[in-house]
Amino acid sequence: MKTIRSIGKCVALVVVLLVAPLGISLAGDFDGSKKLRCVPTDATECSGAGECKRVMVEEINIPRWIAVDFKKKKLSGTDSDGEDESTAIENVRVNDGQTILQGAESGRAWSMVIDQMTGDMTVAIAGDETGFVLFGVCQKH
């Protein structure tokens, strides 16, 4: 019985030693210190009347890949029409395991929240009588 406990403790120690550095590494990838590439995978469009529907990302002309450059404070990508798009990141906040980006352009405001451990992304875009919520994932670029 003592041998089984010793083996269990060794296995637990090995898991902690292998997984702990991985978690620290992942958190560092999404804390605003490295360029990211994010892909929106799901989108919902809502009207001012409160009606919401799922839509394809391509239908709302959002870039398939969004490059996040924290140093240049810029989001960029190529939309579904083949046009290169970019917008300024006006605010960056790192708080409680999340990196939060915000900006505004052409009568719309947006916020992007990136989970620092997983890279999961949520984006909200608000305009006159229309709003979008996007979900996706980011990886280091």
Question: pLDDT tens across 9-48, in order?
Answer: 333 333 333 333 344 334 457 777 889 999 999 999 999 8
pLDDT tens column, 40-57: 999 999 998 889 999 999
**Does residue 65 register a pLDDT over 70?**
yes
Distance CA 94, CA 139 (A): 17
Enter the pTM of the model. Answer: 0.77
By CB atoms closer than 10 A (0-12, 13-18, 19+), residue 106 is exposed
CA distance 88 to 43: 22
Three-state DSSP class for residue 10: helix
Q: Which domains, from first to last, does the chain contain?
A: 2-140 (2.40.160)
- Convert the pLDDT of each residue in 110-126 to its tens digit: 999 999 999 999 999 99
DSSP code of residue 89: -
Q: What pLDDT shows up at residue 28?
A: 59
| Greater model confidence, 107 or 2 | 107
